[in-house]
Structure 1
Amino acid sequence: MTRPEIREVIIDILERIAPDEDLSNLDDSIAFREQMELDSMDFLDIVMELRKQYRVQIPESEYEHLITMNSTVNYLEPKLADVPK
């Protein structure tokens, strides 16, 4: 997957988890929690969706890499490199 495709996957997941959020002005360099009403369960839902859809295992010790859109895409890029969209 390319970086834009990965970003779109994350947007799709966020839209399902937080349907009332306006993601059109999401700043990729600012923490999700600073821009959205996400709690820890919402965050775990994101991790579980990635595991379910793409078989990406994200250890709890690496959750720090999923703070912003940029950091999330950077983290997922090598893990999803061989995954067709």
Structure 2
Amino acid sequence: MTKEEILARVIAELQNVAPGCEPENADPDGDLREELEIDSMDFLNFIIALHKALHIDIPESDYPKLSTLNNIVAYLHDHS
């Protein structure tokens, strides 16, 4: 998958987990949870949704690496 395809999937999964959030308007280098005002449970559900959609294992130890949209896209691209 290209980074653009991954970003589109990330945005779609964020909107599924946290309806009403606007990830397309978020700073791609800003802290995702702060930018979108999502709590830890929504974030966990988002990570699970990414795993299911993209079939990429994301160990809990890597969660801190997924703090921004750009970091998430890069991580998923590197692990796909």
Task: Tell me if TM exceeds 0.5.
Answer: yes
How large is the Cα RMSD of the aligned pairs? 1.1
Give the Cα separation in 1 of the matches to 2:74 and 2:23: 19
**Unaligned 5+ runs, structure 1:** 81-85
TM-score relative to the length of structure 1? 0.85
**Unaligned 5+ runs, structure 2:** none
How many residues of Structure 1 are paired with residues of Structure 2 in the alignment?
80
TM-score relative to the length of structure 2? 0.90
Percent of paired sites with the same residue: 40
Q: Which has the higher helix share?
A: 2
Give the Cα separation in 2 of the matches to 1:5 and 1:65: 20
Q: Which has the larger radius of gyration?
A: 1
What is aligned with 1:8? 8
- For the residue of structure 1 that corresponds to 2:25, the secondary structure is coil
User: Which contiguous aligned blocks of 4+ residues in structure 1 show a shift greater than 3 angstroms?
Assistant: none
1:53 aligns with 2:53: yes
Q: Deviations over 1:32-65 (max 9, x none)?
A: 1121121111111111112212221111111011
